[in-house]
Structure 1
């Protein structure tokens, strides 16, 4: 459970400046722990995100027999047990606020002969799991969920699992990854067909650990196939900076006049960099410097300079590559000129909160005109003028909502008070010192 509410207000007395490094990519950190736990031998992970969500994954894998230890130098060593070698946990696994931990671990455990109970906090317990439950049941897992396909739920895995072909009804990297992880301990080929590309960290990392993974075009999409029975090899992994976390100092630098910020070592996988492409369409001055590959993932330093933004109609097809970044895009849109139309993002309604409704309510409270539609939000920007502010906004236990409104407060006439900053620790424990190091102040 989260600590007592901790209100937060950020303000800026002048330009933001400096160079920073954001925490390790959350998606890659989860997967690095999981696949290392299934390898035979010891893997080393550098740059692991040490937020609450990733630590929940580490605790769950440790409870199932994997050796996971943080070293004095900040690296993590994982002693894997091999595919199929995980042990029965003694207690329920507490996922905290992490939907990624829950959905991916459900897949990983579905092809082990384990009975596992998943529990989570109030926010996670409202999030639907049915889209993961359905394919895992087809693979042989016996899953008893709370009403609405929610936590708490109990899962009895089948070893070996039944290989399936699963056509994703909704673009979801989490569902894709859950099925592929289950397929590691199923005989033959397990295939996921996706009609809209989603983040491909699982495919890249599975191949890196020695699994046989293929990606082939099919009519209307792609077929991603993993062949079960592989012995995963341990490896050393360097986790790049999380593009979702980098979005907050980036947008802060764009909207505070005179700012220039360098964000080092940001992962810019083309299935994850949609926000930066959209901001460029809005006229943002964001330069990619020192582009390179780190552990098979494209990485660059981002130099961000303040400047005017123009409202646009965001192409709906970009949504899967930036679904977590829409709350901070709403903030950028609030300072742009003209209207920014964001559609095709109904997935935001089943995140840690209903991010469309929550952000719309907070923006209106701060004096920003916006229109909520079933699948999105239309924001009328203030043409670079500060928002009126002077409101307390509800974060709804959602880390990205809390950080987004904290950034909005940097360009507000009156304080924007986030009712509870405690959830920020789930993904960005050093958010506050990073922002104050760039020149923001608290209060």
Structure 2
């Protein structure tokens, strides 16, 4: 074992410990320090994975899907390395491996489930040779960082082709993702929902309306949401590929349920988009050679964390924390909230730090008018750009309360709310809000 690898692991673990003691996440720092000591640390450690390496990419659903796949593999008795926190750039990926390694730099893992930021694949893939890529979807996201979707697609296709034997497990309902998988030349496997489930909002922003193969306008027989649905090109014949793992008899409400192959799966989650997350994890498990007979058991025990449908109980109030960082994701969050017909309070927190993207014009593409419902007791806007969020709500004639400090906003709604609180935040507000809610949950009533 390389001395530099041992030193990198020791230093990274020490940094992570110190950061946690200071109340900080510390994951990216652990990875950064490890790379400084040994630039080849990712290759050294990932090469010790005994069986297969999964990466999960895509605009929305990466963290939930990746963690769910990890839980499914662990439920099959496998040892798995996973970046559970969603730190998905190079430092975060490296940290997942170094923090899982022993003090001598030995890694005891059968599988790795690694979420990777799409733009960061250029930095991660040279040291990590995945066997499978789960590709969830491609939506417009952080234009000032990613640019248009074509740029993201070009990066992904370039990196997919550097690992020609890697199988791409792709959402066939997304024309952009499906084209990318089909055009890459890599072997691919599909999952999706072949029949309509619910009516899609007519005014919803849809990406990829034009065929990536020839430029003609795609024709849809139906939409699930955004651009996800059943499509075909009338000009060149490009169409949704045949779906291998097809969810049918889909039911959406307080609980999700659907059939796939011979299995009936149910989960206590809201939001149609979670059907795709569950289905992607199932497809990953099956592609790895497992029967999936224990998958439902995993779903019953799976507890979403890190601000993805994360639930808290504070002074008698049920609180749901969820990430909403782009138009497609926010619209699905709103849809999930509105499936709850009981009275509710909502806090929306918007920041514009570098990791969020400083351009927040995407707020004008979110269907906030759907929040003008009698079941909503109050809406509070918070965060660095709370004034912009208040203006956005003014344009749909929905009154809101303004409280820039997130903790103050939460405490006020715990005190005067209806006991049912949804907190929707964008990226940099997620970790701090999670910590606030954890702290409040531990306080004596």
TM-score w.r.t. the length of structure 1 is 0.28
Structure ranking higher in strand proportion: 1
Structure ranking higher in helix proportion: 2
TM-score w.r.t. the length of structure 2 is 0.28
- Larger RCO: Structure 1 or Structure 2 (Cα < 8 Å, ≥ 6 residues apart)? 1
